[in-house]
Amino acid sequence: MSKSTLYKLMALVVAISLVLAACGGGGGETTQKVTSSGFVCPEPDSKMEVSSKELNLFVWTEYIPTEWKECFELVYGVKINHDEYSSNEEMYAKLSAGGTNYDLVQPTDYIVDLMIRQGLLQELDQAKLPMATLDPNYLNLEFDPGNMYTIPYQAGTDAIIYNADKVANPPASFADLWNPEYANRMVFLDDSRVVIGMTLLTLGYDVNTTDPAELEEAKAKLAELVPNVKLFDSDSPKTALIAGDVDLGITWTGEAFTANQENPAFVYVYPTEGAILWQDNWAVPVGAPHMDAAYAWINYTMQGNMFWLMLRDFPYINPSLAALEYAKGNQPELYNAYMDSPITNVPQDAIDAGHRIEDVGDATPLYDQIWTEVKGGE
Amino acid sequence: MLKRLRENKSFQGTLLVSPTLLWMIALLFIPLILTTIISFGTRNADGGVIYGFSFHNYVRLFGFSTDCPGGQASCFDPLYANILGRSLSLAFWTTVIVIALAYPLAYFIARAHPKRRNTFLMLVLVPLWTNFVIRVYAWMMLLREQGVINGIIGWVAARFGVQFEPLQMLYTPGAVLVGMVYEFLPFMILPIFTSLEKIDVPLYEAAADLGANPFRTFLRVTLPLSMPGVVAGTILVFIPVMGTFIVSDLLGGKQVILVGNLIQNQFLSARDPTFGSAASLILMIMTLIVTYFYTRKFGFGEEIIAV
């Protein structure tokens, strides 16, 4: 090796170490934590003591803003493991089989009740939770009186949607869906409880009935309707609506809001019998290994300056007063879109008229049998 | 130990198959026993299993109900038997159509110039590199009311000034059949190709020398010698089609309930693992019976060569 090459090499080594030192120093000085999408992570209002190094989330598919994960990892130095499910039943089946180590799950109202009875959830310490930032309308509901086990995440409705450009006589009630004019133009949720429940409502029965005679009557009525339904889809009914494969049907808040933003001709109607109301919640399964991180996660993500991201990404009914307050001052466009739309800002009389699905215990297989029969019995 | 390994042939064999054996015991045999035990149990109100020995799940599956709407002691409701029958018939027709489409194609590839043969085989295999579900979504794009096929027909019709009402293809039983045939076609082409390729060319020459015309040669030489491929392909297609539910969900709009959907619903929305287990076992037994009679008639695909 010649002398000059050696000098050059030495110079290079010096230069590299200088650059590295500069970077290291620079990194230590920055106080702002920024996600890969450029979102500046807010500081936690009160930073909690977290000794866990991981947090295992088990959440609905596409149901938390990506910034939350990155920010929480940056702020608390906790690694987030993230599993997803696409139905409450799937989540319940996995948890009740045992052997999981999730710290947080997002059960919907009717399954919360069942999970509490099965001893799958553990009691929460309300003093450590941001209860005061939530709208009391979404607290202390029948499935979890006193919010011993859950804290609300998002709420929504299942109701009627139609394309005003294509439907000349729009439906006003669930009963109207039997109109032969709508034959082969409808998308329904692939959900036995919602569709049978809606049929029960048109007959004037309770949405959670376990009376076999009432259910038999509903089955006969539903059997007339099912051949007129073009498609059952609980994953993304808006896709078929927007693609023009169907013109009306039953869908839920977030899907309706997105369809309406894309094409204002999509109108969401709260039926005269009353819509189906539901609420997703955070809950901690028994045996969760990282309780401290779970509390820190709920507190951090439910801050107004974090939870407003839900308005942007997941336009459902937002139970966080803090998030709405923050959006009002900082994201007026999102706030106005939310407040102006009856899909997200549900009129009080629609909420009062609404019905909640509850677990029906021994009647669950009967509901499924009716569902199989009306769909499969030619 | 090493000495024993070197000398004892049967010990070598045991050692070689033991990983597979353990795999089969842990992931097939034990789950199967659990499924059997659960299928004789009863569901509790929350969807748990009360263990016991009761045939009521099987009785219900075959349509005999003790819980009749009219109040009589027992009645017959062929709901689930119909679903089993529908799955069987869909699997049957899928297999028949797949054979009809795959045989000429496999023949063409086997008779192609060896240089081009590999290219053709690759073309058959390439679609399998894409995920099953994504390929089903591609069919949705093609078949929907404002999809590619209707778009092309509509465009051509407009050029000729013809009125065109978009065809209703997606979310029909026909769409399910098309999807099934598409998904399972390669599994028929490959085994038929393999057995056709193995046929010695002099056999054809001999047939011609003995005065057989091409049609007769096909019936008496080609077809019998390629039967092992058809049999193997049939088993590869028929059995998975019986249990698949993704295709009927996506292309049938969940209008068509097959036995795969039925089983899935029992474990999820109905929360009745006992009934779901019974349905799974019946599906397995039914498939085994069909396969048994089929292979007894046609063999597993190899013996026929000797005939």
Q: Nearest C-alpha of chain A: how many angstroms from B6?
A: 42
CA–CA dist A214, B106 (Å, integer): 57
Q: Which residues touch B158 (CB under 8 Å, ≥6 apart)?
A: B164
- Judge whether B48 lies within some domain: no
pLDDT value of residue A18: 54
- Judge whether B166 lies within some domain: yes
Residues in chain B: 307
Q: Quick check: B296 pLDDT over 90?
A: no
* Per-residue model confidence as pLDDT tens digits over A195-244: 999 999 999 999 999 999 999 999 999 999 998 899 999 888 999 999 99
Measured between beta carbons, the chain B residues lying within 8 angstroms of A244 are 145-146
- Judge whether B280 lies within some domain: yes
Chain A, 277 to 296: residues with Cβ < 8 Å from chain B are: none
* Per-residue model confidence as pLDDT tens digits over A69-106: 999 999 999 999 999 998 898 999 999 988 899 999 99
pLDDT value of residue B72: 63
* Per-residue model confidence as pLDDT tens digits over B199-235: 888 888 898 899 888 889 888 889 988 988 999 999 9
- Judge whether B57 lies within some domain: no
- Computed over every residue of chain B, the mean pLDDT equals 88
Chain B, 142 to 181: residues with Cβ < 8 Å from chain A are: 144-146, 168, 170-171
Q: Which CATH number does the domain housing residue B88 bear?
A: 1.10.3720.10
- Judge whether B278 lies within some domain: yes
Pairing of strands A104-105, A229-232: unpaired
- Judge whether B10 lies within some domain: no
Class of domain A54-155+279-344: alpha beta
pLDDT value of residue B293: 87
Q: By mean pLDDT, which of A6-20, A362-376, B2-16, B67-81 is the weakest?
A: A6-20
* Per-residue model confidence as pLDDT tens digits over A13-66: 656 655 555 554 444 445 788 998 889 999 999 889 999 999 999 999 889 999
Mean local confidence (pLDDT), A168-181: 96
- Judge whether B258 lies within some domain: yes
Rounded to an integer, what is the distance from CA B204 to the centroid of its chain? 33
pLDDT value of residue A98: 86
- For chain A, where do the domains classified as CATH 3.40.190.10 start and end? 54-155+279-344, 157-277+351-376
Residues A376, B82: C-beta atoms closer than 8 Å:
yes
Measured between beta carbons, the chain B residues lying within 8 angstroms of A375 are 254-255, 257
CA–CA dist A24, A34 (Å, integer): 17
CA–CA dist A45, B30 (Å, integer): 52
Residues A375, B270: C-beta atoms closer than 8 Å:
no
Does the structure's ipTM exceed the value 0.90?
no
DSSP code of A278? E
> What topology does CATH give the domain A157-277+351-376?
D-Maltodextrin-Binding Protein; domain 2 (3.40.190)
Is residue B1 within 8 angstroms of chain A, CB to CB?
no
- Judge whether B12 lies within some domain: no
In this prediction, residue A375 has a pLDDT band, given cuts at 50, 70 and 90, of confident
Residue pointed to by tokens 């799950």: A105
Which residue of chain A has the CA closest to B250? A233
pLDDT value of residue B9: 80
Provide the domain limits for residue B120: 80-306
Measured between beta carbons, the chain B residues lying within 8 angstroms of A89 are 268-269, 271
Is residue B114 within 8 angstroms of chain A, CB to CB?
no
Is residue A358 within 8 angstroms of chain B, CB to CB?
no
Hey, what's the torsion of the CAs at B23, B29, B33, B38, to 10 degrees? 50
pLDDT value of residue A28: 43
Q: Which of A230, A239, A371 to mutate to test the interface with B (most CBs of B within 10 A)?
A: A230
CA–CA dist A329, A335 (Å, integer): 9
Measured between beta carbons, the chain B residues lying within 8 angstroms of A361 are 45-46
DSSP code of A320? B
Q: Based on the structure, what is the number of domains in chain B?
A: 1
In this prediction, residue B41 has a pLDDT band, given cuts at 50, 70 and 90, of very high
In this prediction, residue B119 has a pLDDT band, given cuts at 50, 70 and 90, of very high
Residues A245, B145: C-beta atoms closer than 8 Å:
yes
Q: Nearest C-alpha of chain B: how many angstroms from A114?
A: 7
Residue from A67, A71, A82 nearest A43 by CA? A71
Is residue B47 within 8 angstroms of chain A, CB to CB?
yes
Q: Kindly tell me the number of DSSP H helices and DSSP E strands found in chain A.
A: 15, 10
Mean local confidence (pLDDT), A285-313: 96
Measured between beta carbons, the chain B residues lying within 8 angstroms of A359 are 46
Measured between beta carbons, the chain A residues lying within 8 angstroms of B257 are 372, 375-376
> Which of B45, B83, B269 minimises the CB distance to A376?
B83
